[in-house]
Each structure stands twice: as structure tokens, then as C-alpha cells.
């Protein structure tokens, strides 16, 4: 089969000492500190073997994520930008949906021909974190497209328990193909759902919401905020084309961060009351969350989803004085996130196809990555099938 593979050179920075486990597995906790000269190529790869509790999925749609770009791109020293777990070489792709074409003999509920979206986080269900309900922080997790082979390929094998059926969505849309494209958006939408609704329990309809970053995660947060009853959704992004997409998807206002004083602008837009919910999806908390002080409402919530950027210096005293909550959010699994996202799509409350700027065959994957370097597109979907 054809697959898009990530390659990089093992070159730990002088100040980074890989653990014994990292040396043995080459599964690096912070790829930014080890993997040098990242690069991608499309070529042949062996079809995945099927285990008893797995299904073989023919990949129909897979999105290119900001994390994929951060694994592909390098900093000024030539090191991979992405700061999380990465194994190289590896097949990229973690936002995907497809058709079940084969089932293992221990699979109970899925059948050949079923349409499924699949969780990227492969949680174990047995470690302390999983048993406490924090499956996004599983101590032994694999990550599709990061540490285990991904879905920018013709086929992938995944355990049944990570799959969510899309038949109701296909019926609602009247098209299996469109349901599969929407299903590929389940992962990034789930990341935003987890941050907005599960991390702190402080979400309330009627909030003034600010979202930094109009990439896929930010646009998903926008759609979910509107569906969740926000009274105002303000999206901030330096890209004019992405701001236009945010407006098309229903943003109350869009702002260019280089053209305004953030505190003044947000106070003005909230009639001096301040913002209730801030969602960081850009990966630059030092430029987005760090400057925010006077614009924060009492009991405001800050959710940090974006990965990357320099470490921010945050105004902790202001947070104490105004009762501000700050939470990091990672992942999309557990608590019925995928189920609820698919239900919202099926009900027509959110339509994530609005952010898709292009659908391309897998043969054009390398060109698609190069195109995304400009950050003008919101989402490019590859169609391996």
C-alpha cells in the first residue's frame, strides 16, 4: 500500500538526556529535543497485520493537522517543532475515518462495511490514570500517527474499542462519502470539545468567548461555542483568510492580533465586563494568554489547548484577584466525546466541512504539506481511498 512516512535524524540536543526507555523504543517524550531534519515522503509500506480485537479500516478521509505540520517543520536549528511524543520513522495521520473491510475473530459489534471514525489516543484502560477516568493521560498510551503507524495510508488496523460508527451521520447527510469527511473531523472537534466542556466544568451558555487561532482546532471550538449557547464568539488570528473562514462559520467578530491592543479591544467588545472564556488554540500562549489581564471577567476560565511556542509568563496575581481558572487540555478520548461530537454533526448543530478548503488524493500529500506552510488554508483533507 501507499503511505506518507515521516523521517527524522536521531540527534539529542546537548542539554537533553534521553531516558533508558526513550533510548530503547525511540519513542521520544519531547520530539523538539531529539529529532533533527524532519522530512516526509510518499512510498510503499506493508499492509498492517490484524490482531483478534482489531478491525482493518480502508482509510477514506484523513485530515492534515497542525501537529502533523509541527512534526514536518523544523526550527532554526533544524529540530522538529512538535514538543510531544513522536517515533520516527512513522506513518503520519491521526484525524481519519474509513470503512471496515476485515474484522478480527474477537470483534463483537463492528461488521465489514461499517463506516467508522477512530480515536487517535490508544488508551490502555488499566493504568491508574485510565482507572481514574483520565484516559487522555494514559501512562501506556500509543498515539496513531505519532508513536504508532497512522492513517495517511490506504489501510490501518485499530482496536474495535477506539472506533465510533457513522451510520446515523451518513443517513442524515444522505452520503457515505460526506459522512466520512465529517468523521475525519471528529478528532480535532473532539479536542476542542474536551477543552471547552470537560476540563473545568465552568462552561455556561451566555458566555463571552474568545478563541485564539482559526486553524482547525480553533474553528471547531468556535462551532462548539456557538452550538453551546455562547452569546458572543470572538476569534483572533493573524491570517486574513482564516479570519474570513471564522466569519463564514458564524463568529461574532474577528480580530487581527497585530492590529489591536488585546485588553482594550476585548473590554470594548464586552462593554467593559470582560471575557468569560478564553480558548488558546494557536500554540503561542506567550503571545495570546500572557498579555491578558484587564480584559478578564471575574471567574473567567482560560483553556490552553494549542501545542508549541515559548513558555509564557502568566499574571498569576491577577488570576488570584479575579478568581481566574487556568487549565491545560489534551486529547479527545473518554466521557463520550466522540459520540457527542458525532451526534452534534448528525443533528446539524455543527458542520465541520465548512472549514475544509481542499480535498486531495493521497498522491498529492507532500504538495499539500508544502501548501499548508503558509497557514492560509484551514483544513486539507486527503482521500487515500
CB-based contact 297:274 (threshold 8 Å): yes
Q: Which of 70, 94, 137, 208 is catalytic?
A: 70
- How much is the pTM? 0.93
Residue 21 has what pLDDT? 84
**Residue 67 annotated as catalytic:** yes
Q: Which of 32, 67, 137, 208 is catalytic?
A: 67
CA distance 10 to 27: 11
The domain 200-328 is classified under which CATH number: 3.40.50.1980, 3.90.550.10, 1.10.20.10, 3.40.50.720?
3.40.50.720
- CATH number for the domain formed by residue range(s) 2-188+332-383: 3.90.180.10
The three-state (H, E, C) secondary structure of the chain, written as one string: CEEEEEEEEECCCCCCCCCHHHHHHCEECCHHHCEEEEEEEEEECCCCCCCCCEEEEEEEEEECCHHHHHHHCECCCCEECCCCCEECCEECCCEEEEEEEEECCCCCCCCCCCEEEECCEECCCCCHHHHCCCHHHCCCCEEECCCECCCCECEEEEEHHHEEECHHHHHHHCCHHHHHHHHHCHHHHHHHHHHHHHCCCCCCCCCEEEEECCCHHHHHHHHHHHHCCCCEEEEECCCHHHHHHHHHCCCCEEECHHHCCHHHHHHHHCCCCCEEEEEECCCCCCCCCCCCCCCEEEEEEEEECCCCCCCCCCCHHHHHHHCCEEEECCCCCCCCHHHHHHHHHHCCCCCHHHHEEEEEEHHHHHHHHHHHCCCCCCEEEEECC
**Residue 70 annotated as catalytic:** yes
Residue 309 has what pLDDT? 66
pLDDT tens for the chain, residues 1 to 385: 999 999 999 999 999 998 888 888 888 889 999 999 999 999 999 999 999 999 999 999 999 998 899 999 999 999 999 988 999 999 999 999 999 999 999 999 999 999 999 999 999 999 999 999 999 999 999 999 999 999 999 999 999 999 999 999 999 999 999 999 999 999 999 999 999 999 999 999 999 999 999 989 999 999 999 999 999 999 999 999 999 999 999 999 999 999 999 999 999 999 999 999 999 999 899 999 999 999 999 999 999 999 876 789 999 999 999 999 999 999 999 989 999 999 999 999 999 998 898 999 999 999 999 999 988 888 999 999 7
Q: What residue spans define the domains of the chain?
A: 2-188+332-383, 200-328
Amino acid at each position: 500500500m501507499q503511505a506518507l512516512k515521516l523521517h527524522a535524524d536521531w540527534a539529542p540536543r546537548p542539554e537533553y538526556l534521553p531516558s533508558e526507555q526513550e533510548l530503547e523504543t525511540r519513542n521520544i517524550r519531547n520530539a523538539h529535543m531529539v529529532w533533527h531534519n524532519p522530512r516526509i515522503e510518499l512510498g510503499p509500506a506493508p499492509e498492517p497485520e490484524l490482531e483478534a480485537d482489531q478491525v482493518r479500516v480502508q482509510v477514506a478521509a484523513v485530515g492534515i493537522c497542525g501537529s502533523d505540520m509541527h512534526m514536518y517543520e523544523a526550527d532554526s536549528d533544524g529540530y522538529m517543532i512538535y514538543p510531544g511524543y513522536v517515533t520516527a520513522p512513522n506513518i503520519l495521520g491521526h484525524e481519519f475515518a474509513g470503512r471496515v473491510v476485515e474484522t478480527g475473530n474477537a470483534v463483537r459489534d463492528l461488521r465489514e462495511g461499517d463506516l467508522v471514525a477512530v480515536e487517535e489516543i490508544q488508551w490502555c484502560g488499566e493504568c491508574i490514570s485510565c482507572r481514574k477516568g483520565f484516559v487522555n493521560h494514559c501512562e501506556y498510551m500509543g498515539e496513531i500517527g505519532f508513536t504508532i503507524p497512522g492513517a495517511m495510508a490506504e489501510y490501518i488496523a485499530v482496536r474495535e474499542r477506539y472506533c465510533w460508527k457513522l451510520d446515523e451521520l451518513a443517513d442524515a447527510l444522505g452520503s457515505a462519502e460526506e459522512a466520512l469527511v465529517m468523521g475525519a473531523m471528529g478528532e480535532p472537534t473532539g479536542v476542542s470539545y474536551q477543552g471547552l466542556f470537560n476540563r473545568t466544568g465552568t462552561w455556561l451558555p451566555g458566555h463571552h468567548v474568545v478563541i485564539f487561532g482559526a486553524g482547525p482546532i480553533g474553528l471547531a471550538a468556535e462551532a462548539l461555542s456557538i452550538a453551546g449557547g455562547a452569546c458572543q464568539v470572538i476569534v483572533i488570528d493573524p491570517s486574513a483568510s482564516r479570519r474570513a473562514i471564522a466569519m463564514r462559520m458564524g463568529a461574532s467578530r474577528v480580530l487581527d492580533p497585530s492590529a489591536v491592543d488585546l485588553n482594550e479591544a476585548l473590554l470594548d467588545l464586552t462593554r467593559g465586563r470582560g471575557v468569560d472564556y478564553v480558548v488558546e488554540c494557536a500554540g503561542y500562549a506567550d503571545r495570546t494568554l500572557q498579555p491578558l489581564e484587564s480584559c478578564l471577567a471575574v471567574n473567567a476560565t482560560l483553556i490552553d489547548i494549542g501545542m508549541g511556542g515559548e513558555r509564557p509568563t502568566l499574571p498569576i496575581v491577577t488570576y488570584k484577584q479575579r478568581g481566574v481558572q487556568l487549565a491545560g487540555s489534551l486529547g479527545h478520548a473518554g466521557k463520550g466525546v466522540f459520540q457527542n461530537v458525532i451526534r452534534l454533526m448528525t443533528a446539524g448543530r455543527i458542520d465541520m466541512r465548512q472549514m475544509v478548503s481542499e480535498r486531495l488524493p493521497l498522491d498529492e500529500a507532500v504538495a499539500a504539506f508544502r501548501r499548508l506552510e503558509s497557514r492560509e488554508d484551514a483544513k486539507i483533507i486527503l482521500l487515500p481511498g
